[in-house]
Amino acid sequence: MTDLVVERGDAHARLTLNRPDKRNALSVALRDAISDALDEIARDEQMKCVVFTGAGAVFCSGFDLKEFTKAAEDADFGRELWLSSDRYHDTVLRFPLPTIAAVNGPALAGGFDLAILCDLRIASTAARFAHPERTFGDVVYGPLHDLVGGAVARELTIGGRELDAAEALAVHLVGEVVEPDALPAAVEAAVARVCAAPRDVLARTKAKALQRAGFGALAPTLEL
């Protein structure tokens, strides 16, 4: 079973994190698969946007913490882990076309980061958002601050606040909340709205958004 399922439509691609038994935790292999897939999709002139979602009941539970234990014991793997992380965050954040997170369930830690690295977010009522890793490590702060502002970002990253789907909508973290069985149709409608614009216009608007947010030069994971 592949960790990442890539499906292509006429003008968009869907990337499904496919480790449901691990709550779609982002291993080195999965992060690299995402980065490779995005690099390939960016070169496809027919593509206009990418959708991320998770298999099963969880969107993504974050990085695979077992790999951090291995990294502490194996310096070579530790370097591989952080190189993979830096490439992954940069590739998702700076993907040149619009990205949509179809948040089908909990988005925690690095899974929360994946959602906020996307341009648009549509959440199921089963979604919730939290940064549990704040109790033992750094969080990805910049993209979250860009979306919800400093007050809410600090509540989530310093204060430990968690958001359910309705609260996420209220602070504009997500743009739409629907019942779980309505999520595919809501995402399909969002894809249609995005893809109504020409590819070159979408790319220019995405570039403007990144520039306005201050995401110009590559930054390592722990500096985001």
Selection from 116, 95, 102, 106 nearest residue 34 by Cα:
95
CA dist 109 and 212 (Å) reads 25
Cβ–Cβ < 8 Å for 190, 120: yes
CA distances from 81 to 9, 31, 71, 122, 177 (A): 32, 10, 7, 30, 34
Residues 24-63 as b or e (16 or more Cβ within 10 Å = b):
bbbbbebbbbbbebbeebbeeeebbbbbbbbbbebbbbbb
Q: Annotated active-site positions, please?
A: 133
CA dist 113 and 205 (Å) reads 22
Strands 12-17 and 4-8: antiparallel
Tokens of 14: 């869907």
